[in-house]
C-alpha cells in the first residue's frame, strides 16, 4: 500500500513538472464598452478601462490590450507608438470599433498589432481613415468596412512599411487611390 501511495505521488510530480507554464497575464490590460468599476492599471475585467485614452496612459511595450465583445466609440485618434497588441476577445464579428465619422488608429511602431476586431465608420481628410500604418505595424484578421478617406487608402494606408494579413476589407471609399488599402513606399498585403 505504501508503494502504491509513493507511485501516485511520483506520477503527480511528473504531471506537474511536465505541464506547460501558465501565463501570469502580467502585461495584459482590459477594456470594456461599459464598466462602473474602472480602475487603473486595468489589469482585470472587473477594473477594465472604457476607452483608449485611459489605456494609453499606462500601456507599454509587450502589453496585450484585450477588448471585450461589444461596440467601442471613438473620441479621438488612437496612436499606438509602442510594441503592443490590441486584440478582440471574441471574434472580429463581435468586437467593433466605430469611429463615429472620425479617425481610427495610427500605428507608429514596428511591433504594434491590431487583431480580431471590426473597424468601421472612420473618416480622414487625407490617407487611411481606419488605420494609418507608419514604418511598420500589423493589422491581422480584422474587418474594415464603411470607412472613408479623401486622398487614398479608404480603410488602410501603409506608409513605408506595415502588414495587412487575413483581413476582410469591404465597402470603403476614397477619392484617391486604393478604396480599401493603399501602399505608399512599401508594405505587405
Please write the tens of the pLDDT for every residue from 121-139.
Answer: 999 999 999 999 998 999 9
More reliable by pLDDT, 156 or 9: 156
| Grid coordinates of 42 | 486595468
Instruction: In whole angstroms, give the CA distance from residue 107 to residue 105.
Output: 6
Q: Say which range, 8-17, 115-124, 157-166, has the weakest mean pLDDT.
A: 8-17
CA distances in angstroms from 39 to 29, 43, 176, listed in the order given: 11, 9, 43
More reliable by pLDDT, 184 or 4: 184
| Grid coordinates of 126 | 487625407
Output the pLDDT for position 90.
87
Output the pLDDT for position 61.
96
* Residue 75 scores a pLDDT above 90: no
Strand order across the beta sheet in which 85-88 lies: 28-31, 64-67, 85-88, 113-115, 138-140, 163-165
Please write the tens of the pLDDT for every residue from 14-36.
Answer: 323 332 333 435 699 999 999 99
Output the pLDDT for position 74.
79
* Residue 113 scores a pLDDT above 90: yes
Q: Say which range, 15-24, 80-89, 111-120, has the weakest mean pLDDT.
A: 15-24
Look up the pTM and report it: 0.85
Amino acid at each position: 500500500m505504501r508503494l502504491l501511495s509513493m507511485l501516485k505521488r511520483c506520477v503527480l510530480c511528473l504531471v506537474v513538472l511536465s505541464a506547460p507554464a501558465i501565463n501570469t497575464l502580467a502585461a495584459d490590460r482590459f477594456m470594456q464598452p461599459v464598466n462602473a468599476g474602472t480602475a487603473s492599471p486595468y489589469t482585470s475585467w472587473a477594473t477594465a478601462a472604457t476607452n483608449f485614452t485611459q489605456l494609453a496612459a499606462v500601456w507599454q511595450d509587450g502589453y496585450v490590450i484585450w477588448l471585450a465583445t461589444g461596440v467601442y466609440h471613438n473620441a479621438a485618434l488612437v496612436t499606438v507608438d509602442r510594441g503592443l497588441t490590441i486584440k478582440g476577445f471574441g471574434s472580429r464579428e463581435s468586437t467593433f470599433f466605430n469611429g463615429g465619422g472620425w479617425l481610427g488608429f495610427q500605428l507608429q511602431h514596428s511591433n504594434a498589432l491590431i487583431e480580431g476586431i471590426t473597424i468601421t465608420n472612420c473618416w480622414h481628410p487625407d490617407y487611411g481613415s481606419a488605420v494609418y500604418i507608419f514604418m511598420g505595424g500589423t493589422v491581422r484578421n480584422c474587418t474594415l468596412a464603411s470607412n472613408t478617406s479623401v486622398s487614398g487608402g479608404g480603410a488602410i494606408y501603409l506608409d513605408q512599411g506595415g502588414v495587412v494579413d487575413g483581413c476582410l476589407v469591404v465597402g470603403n471609399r476614397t477619392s484617391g487611390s486604393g478604396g480599401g488599402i493603399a501602399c505608399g513606399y512599401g508594405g505587405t498585403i
